[in-house]
Chains A and B, each alone.
Chain A
């Protein structure tokens, strides 16, 4: 009976959402938008690379040491004092004026780039590098060093990391790929929780301002209504996610088919080979690629999406029930957002640095941060007991937040026009039914 009505509400919520045009648009467009954006970015990057426009830099070189040359810059020697050069700079559209005073090669100081606009980081570091190279060449001549000798001194090393499994089987891993996969899944989780959480909050505020809620809760318990709405939306999310997976796989395989490439990995390998002549690197990358446990990752993602969404969905529902208009919700959003932001930071900072360290461990176990943090970690391979602990705690956390949220929700949805703060929420929470 209780469950039946939850399912009834969930089903209605699901139907309402899926029948909306916005659902159809988002579901179809998003898998197209991301590849399109990447495509445009890569295309423009290639176009820029192909026809670089050289930036004109006038040079006043009092040291007389440098013969600067670069594809990026067109260096033009200015013969005359610095003051004249500065005055000239104000009247032409050149990029800048590089002033090099007489230098102590071991402590070069006083090099200045004058320009009419603030130059970018990339330009400044390119100039730094060019000047440093120039100084290096002068020093080499002074020390009678040969480039050949230097080349023989430098060695390229590539540590191949191999993970030994419990049964002794060896797996080569690649931290770069793993962290990329982890970040992608964690980011998706973050977006999913926020987008769907905000939707549930909005839905509840709507019900409250529509004043339809009292009719509904005279027929079912507020808890049933809240759970029904949360579960309805979570199934919309899952459906959307599954459609995306299917769409992306169909799209990418049909694209490969269209370009007549049967084995996409060979193509990838070919491109990589062109960029990096060592065979070892590509072999290793492809090995790692093969070893990303896609099914396992997807299943973990679905579990953590459910858990994380249910935890935050309940909190968003409680906030929605407490306020009359969305703008009032802001004050309560802050404490909800904090753990999300912490895990988001961890995704790009703590976890890539040390996926098995203390911080990463705790963040991936505490229920409020674990959905995002664990997605960041899981690609690196997490011990089974940690995964189990995190999952059990996540379920526990969901039960707890739902209980708290339901106590606030049952009172909140019937309150109109009251000024709500944390003390009021606490009173609602304590209130007997």
Chain B
């Protein structure tokens, strides 16, 4: 089943259009990267899913049901602009937010105590938030997003402002939450995170979705039929269907070359050719990074 299906979502403001006729679906138990340049409409989309604002047209279904206020307890949301009540105690704050999300008082206290223990900040339970370090406050924010065990977790720029230790902690938690059955959608500018974490990608530019799908499928869709070869000594491609894009000796006494083949050439055939002309140490298809795809699509879109 799809975790979330958006159909024909549009949102216009007086000055500009934030989303234009957007359609996409998010598979269950996946980690989805929501990408796009600043002002593309990511935050508007996230706010619509969180029912903070309503779209002008279109509708969203969550696990097969029309999105409604009762789904609030199924969603966990960490906004980009995130904060805490400074004067409130950590424990009060966590239980308060959990109860707003529909948990009972008893469950809220139990769950939040378990989480602070897990994140090793249990001794701060009775401290005021203003006494916390930034890293600890970030942990509290993350806990308040996930402690009601939401099936859909939406994180807007979760890694911005996180120190490396917390970023790793959050990454591990995201993976384990996915393994426990949650679906995670997060927006980010960090392409290496997308590369490492995401199963699925949504790319928004100028209020429209310009790319959507499983990460591996997208990468192969954008394959450029380029192969990276490490070999001994130079070779020549004249008279073959292959083009040598670059070739230079590296410090390991081997040559590093980039070879372009015709579309859909069988890699075995390429390898056979290579074995005939040089001693091959490694042969690997060079797939584009998400960053390459992102930049080429967004720049291409801007030129239109």
Chain B residues lying within 8 Å of A218, measured Cβ to Cβ, are 50-52, 72, 75, 77, 79
B54 touches A416 (CB 8 A): no
Chain A residues lying within 8 Å of B78, measured Cβ to Cβ, are 215
Q: Is B81 an interface residue (CB 8 A)?
A: yes
Q: Is A217 an interface residue (CB 8 A)?
A: yes
Most buried by B among A207, A218, A414: A218
Within 8 A of A (CB), among B119-170: 141, 144-145
A219 touches B84 (CB 8 A): no
Known: A8-B100, A216-B97. A427 touches B77 (CB 8 A): no
Residue of B nearest to A225 (CB): B100
Chain A residues lying within 8 Å of B52, measured Cβ to Cβ, are 214, 217-218, 414
Shortest Cβ distance from B71 into chain A, in angstroms? 11
Chain B residues lying within 8 Å of A427, measured Cβ to Cβ, are 14
A433 touches B81 (CB 8 A): no
A219 touches B88 (CB 8 A): no
What separation, in Å, do the CA atoms of A221 and B72 have in the docked complex? 11
Chain A residues lying within 8 Å of B82, measured Cβ to Cβ, are 211-212, 214-215
Of A210, A215, A416, A433, which contacts B144 at CB under 8 A? A215
1/0 per residue, CB under 8 A from B, across A216-245: the answer is 111111000000000000000000000000
A210 touches B56 (CB 8 A): no
B86 touches A210 (CB 8 A): yes
Chain B residues lying within 8 Å of A416, measured Cβ to Cβ, are 81
Q: Is A12 an interface residue (CB 8 A)?
A: yes
Residue of B nearest to A224 (CB): B100
Residue of A nearest to B11 (CB): A432
Q: Is A16 an interface residue (CB 8 A)?
A: yes
B97 touches A219 (CB 8 A): yes
B77 touches A215 (CB 8 A): yes
A214 touches B97 (CB 8 A): no
A433 touches B53 (CB 8 A): yes
B86 touches A220 (CB 8 A): no
Chain A residues lying within 8 Å of B101, measured Cβ to Cβ, are 219
Chain B residues lying within 8 Å of A16, measured Cβ to Cβ, are 85, 87-88
What separation, in Å, do the CA atoms of A228 and B50 have in the docked complex? 20
B100 touches A216 (CB 8 A): yes
A214 touches B53 (CB 8 A): no
A219 touches B100 (CB 8 A): yes
Q: Is A356 an interface residue (CB 8 A)?
A: no
Shortest Cβ distance from A406 into chain B, in angstroms? 14
Known: A8-B99, A8-B100, A219-B100. A212 touches B85 (CB 8 A): yes
Q: Is A55 an interface residue (CB 8 A)?
A: no
Shortest Cβ distance from A217 into chain B, in angstroms? 6
Chain A residues lying within 8 Å of B24, measured Cβ to Cβ, are none
What separation, in Å, do the CA atoms of A221 and B54 have in the docked complex? 12
Q: Is B96 an interface residue (CB 8 A)?
A: yes
What separation, in Å, do the CA atoms of A414 and B47 have in the docked complex? 11
A214 touches B79 (CB 8 A): yes
Chain B residues lying within 8 Å of A86, measured Cβ to Cβ, are none
Chain A residues lying within 8 Å of B83, measured Cβ to Cβ, are 210-213, 215
What separation, in Å, do the CA atoms of A414 and B83 have in the docked complex? 13
1/0 per residue, CB under 8 A from B, across A178-222: the answer is 000000000000000000000000000001001111111111110
1/0 per residue, CB under 8 A from A, across B86-108: the answer is 11100010001101110000000
What are some 13 contacts across the A-B interface (CB < 8 A)? A1-B69, A5-B100, A9-B100, A207-B85, A210-B84, A210-B86, A211-B82, A211-B83, A212-B84, A215-B78, A215-B144, A218-B51, A414-B47
With A5-B100, A215-B78, A218-B51 known, 11 other A-B pairs at CB within 8 A are A9-B100, A16-B87, A210-B84, A211-B83, A214-B52, A214-B79, A214-B82, A218-B79, A219-B100, A414-B47, A414-B52
7 nearest A-B residue pairs (beta carbon) = A211-B83, A210-B83, A219-B100, A214-B79, A212-B83, A218-B50, A211-B81
